[in-house]
Amino acid sequence: MKSGSSGTRPIVLAVLGLLVWCAPFAQADYAYDESVDGDLPHPNSAFVLPFGTPNPNTIRFTVDLNSDGWILQVDPGETLRSFTLIAFTPNNPSYTATFHMHDGPTQSDPVLGTAFASFGGGFLGLDFLDYYGIGSLGAGQYLFAFWHDNSGPNYPTVRFDINMTGLSPVETATWGNIKRLYR
């Protein structure tokens, strides 16, 4: 007599196969750091950064004489819930920047909001989606453009938390298929 059940082996193999098949579609948290990943381009040359669900997503860059831009793509089923300034150093109230968020991937797309930021503490912890009064954003591409208003010598390094929610493909595909196996 054999020990164990030979009936559970095909189910286990099927579940493992589904997990391997769906794994490439799952998007993990993402962090972009200029000191590691390279300088962000001018807003005219911005590219899509692969932020998505699950979180956390962060972006860290130095606000210097070069203007910075990137495109955030929100896929169908996802929602951009917040875009929050979580850190900056050094504390330099005399340094300012103008921040625009566009409703599309180019500077010719409508501006959703504009902020004139002083890096002295007033914007720390601020969710720019709330600040702009636009709330959460659904599927689409959004250009983020930072224009630097003055020169150093103490350029601040800033870090934002980008909170996106939505079901990941693993949650929708894999777990649904696993449940059907047990029915």
Same domain, 155 and 84: yes
Same domain, 163 and 175: no
**Nearest-angstrom CA–CA distance, 119 and 93:** 5
Same domain, 71 and 157: yes
CB atoms near residue 83 (< 10 Å): 25
Domain range spanning residue 64?
Answer: 28-167
Task: Evaluate if pTM is beyond 0.85.
Answer: no
Same domain, 154 and 177: no
Same domain, 144 and 182: no
pLDDT digits (tens, 9 = 90+) for 127-183: 989 988 989 999 999 999 988 776 666 677 788 899 988 854 444 444 455 455 555
Same domain, 149 and 91: yes
CATH number, domain containing residue 45: 2.60.120
pLDDT digits (tens, 9 = 90+) for 44-79: 999 998 887 767 788 887 766 678 899 999 989 899
* Cβ-contact 105, 71 below 8 angstroms: yes
Confidence of residue 108 (pLDDT cuts 50, 70, 90): very high
Same domain, 90 and 13: no
pLDDT digits (tens, 9 = 90+) for 7-55: 655 554 444 443 333 333 344 467 888 888 888 898 999 999 888 776 7
**Tally of structural domains, the chain:** 2
Which of 139, 158, 36, 38 lies closest to 90, judged by CA? 158
